[in-house]
Chain A
Amino acid sequence: EAGVVQSPRYKIIEKKQPVAFWCNPISGHNTLYWYRQNLGQGPELLIRYENEEAVDDSQLPKDRFSAERLKGVDSTLKIQPAELGDSAVYLCASSLDGRVQETQYFGPGTRLLVL
């Protein structure tokens, strides 16, 4: 069974440019998470989807970040415009549903470097 797929794996852009990350969760998983992980830190939740509905986006910087999961499967996370401080690893995870007992399965992450 394929795990969580993310692309691209690496991205280097200049500040003020837009960037988008894509995530394909494990088939059948209704809950999808986007996290940001800075170097030496634990992951920080940006947004959580239950199917196509964003149920927790309280930590998403809405002035420049946006996300969508239109058909309740794949998701994209966009930053426009990117700032130097956005350099981090962006992790996508999925779980069968949003219950706390459910294991989250993480993708390999997209490493973003903003110059």
Chain B
Amino acid sequence: KNEVEQSPQNLTAQEGEFITINCSYSVGISALHWLQQHPGGGIVSLFMLSSGKKKHGRLIATINIQEKHSSLHITASHPRDSAVYICAVVRDTGNQFYFGTGTSLTVIP
């Protein structure tokens, strides 16, 4: 069983749609990261959360520590948002990282 589960695994959206990617985890954490990985490219860190909500441009990330759940929202999606979005958690014991398998997003013009 993976410590971090993401849904959906694959997502196709029309340009302009509001998108939600979900992450659930089963371990105690001290922080949660949302990462973006473009095809053939490196990984970029989008957000680091330990509570509440963060917003950066069209991206919003929320976390509910009690429910062990986080969501990444993209408003007014654009084809350049097409990428794999990965959720990663940091254990509250030992600073170990656990990564989800990623959500592959394709935004169609």
Q: State whether A43 touches B31 (Cβ < 8 A).
A: no
Chain B 20-48 interface mask (CB, 8 Å, partner A; 1/0): 00000000001101010000011111001
Q: Is A91 an interface residue (CB 8 A)?
A: yes
Contacts of A3 in B (CB 8 A): 42
How would you classify the secondary structure of chain B's contact residues: helix, strand, loop or mixed? strand
**CB within 8 Å of A: which of B36-86?**
41-45, 48, 50, 86
- Determine how close the nearest CB of chain A comes to the CB of B72; give it in whole angstroms: 14
* Residues in chain A within 8 A of chain B (CB atoms): 3-4, 40-45, 48, 56, 91, 93, 98, 100-101, 103-109
Q: Can you identify 20 A-B contacts, CB atoms within 8 angstroms?
A: A41-B99, A41-B102, A42-B4, A42-B88, A42-B99, A42-B100, A42-B101, A43-B88, A45-B97, A48-B95, A91-B43, A93-B43, A100-B95, A101-B48, A101-B50, A103-B45, A104-B45, A105-B45, A108-B41, A109-B42
